[in-house]
């Protein structure tokens, strides 16, 4: 069955989405460990402090607000995000959203900010390169370029905060919360729309 917003993309079942999320997380973690080992790269530290958690929550709130504004003002992004969110979130049930927050939030941050930043020099160039690669990871079809642009911008923000603080906990927290908030809001909106 094709996705109603984009006939090029096949709809997936809940099980398929969960398996893809799990396998992707495992692959990203394996790449992270191999890169660390072969490249002698030390993972950016994860320092559990109240300040770091508050920074992560604040950043998640900022990303969520910015995303909402961009969603309303940029029609191409709205279409792109709806295709992506319908493909990934629609088949999931509410408890699955926890996995949607945790798996990408941890595995993507460990690779893109935890290992890539130190491997590429822990500087602004490293932030830019890792952000571009993070954006490309979110490409799921030819019509998805606005979502890739947005993911690249978010990747830059997550990378920059990791660079200036030296603490990977901030982007991990921000990423997990942003995924949880955005997926929950989208699921609530879709539930209300289907009730009407």
On whether residue 61 sits in a domain, the answer given is yes
d(CA 82, CA 118): 34
pLDDT tens-digit profile of 174-193?
A: 999 999 999 999 899 887 87
On whether residue 118 sits in a domain, the answer given is yes
On whether residue 48 sits in a domain, the answer given is no
Rounded average pLDDT over 99-117: 96
On whether residue 72 sits in a domain, the answer given is yes
According to the model, what pLDDT value does residue 174 have?
A: 98
Q: How confident is the model at residue 195 (pLDDT cuts 50, 70, 90)?
A: confident
pLDDT tens-digit profile of 10-58?
A: 678 999 999 999 999 999 999 999 999 999 999 999 999 999 999 999 9
Q: Is 122 left (phi over 0), alpha (psi -120 to 50) or beta?
A: left
According to the model, what pLDDT value does residue 87 have?
A: 87
On whether residue 91 sits in a domain, the answer given is yes
On whether residue 43 sits in a domain, the answer given is no
Task: Give the domain extent around 164.
Answer: 53-189
d(CA 59, CA 41): 26
On whether residue 63 sits in a domain, the answer given is yes
On whether residue 195 sits in a domain, the answer given is no
pLDDT tens-digit profile of 113-144?
A: 999 999 999 999 999 999 999 999 988 777 78
Number of separate domains in the chain: 1
């Amino acid at each position: 069955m094709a996705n109603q917003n984009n006939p090029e993309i096949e709809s997936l079942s809940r099980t398929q989405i969960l398996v893809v999320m799990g396998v992707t997380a495992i692959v990203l973690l394996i790449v992270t460990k191999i890169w660390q080992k072969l490249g002698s790269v030390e993972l950016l530290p994860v320092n559990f402090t109240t300040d770091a958690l508050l920074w992560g929550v604040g950043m998640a709130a900022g990303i969520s607000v910015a995303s909402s504004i961009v969603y309303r003002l940029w029609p191409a992004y709205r279409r792109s995000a709806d295709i992506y969110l319908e493909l990934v979130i629609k088949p999931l049930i509410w408890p699955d959203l926890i996995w949607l927050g945790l798996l990408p939030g941890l595995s993507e941050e460990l690779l893109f900010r935890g290992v890539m930043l130190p491997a590429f020099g822990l500087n602004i160039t490293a932030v830019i390169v890792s952000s571009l690669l993070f954006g490309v990871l979110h490409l799921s079809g030819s019509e998805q370029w606005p979502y890739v642009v947005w993911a690249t911008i978010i990747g830059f923000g997550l990378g920059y905060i990791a660079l200036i603080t030296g603490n990977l906990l901030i982007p991990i927290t921000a990423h997990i919360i942003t995924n949880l908030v955005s997926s929950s809001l989208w699921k609530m909106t879709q539930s209300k729309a289907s009730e009407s």
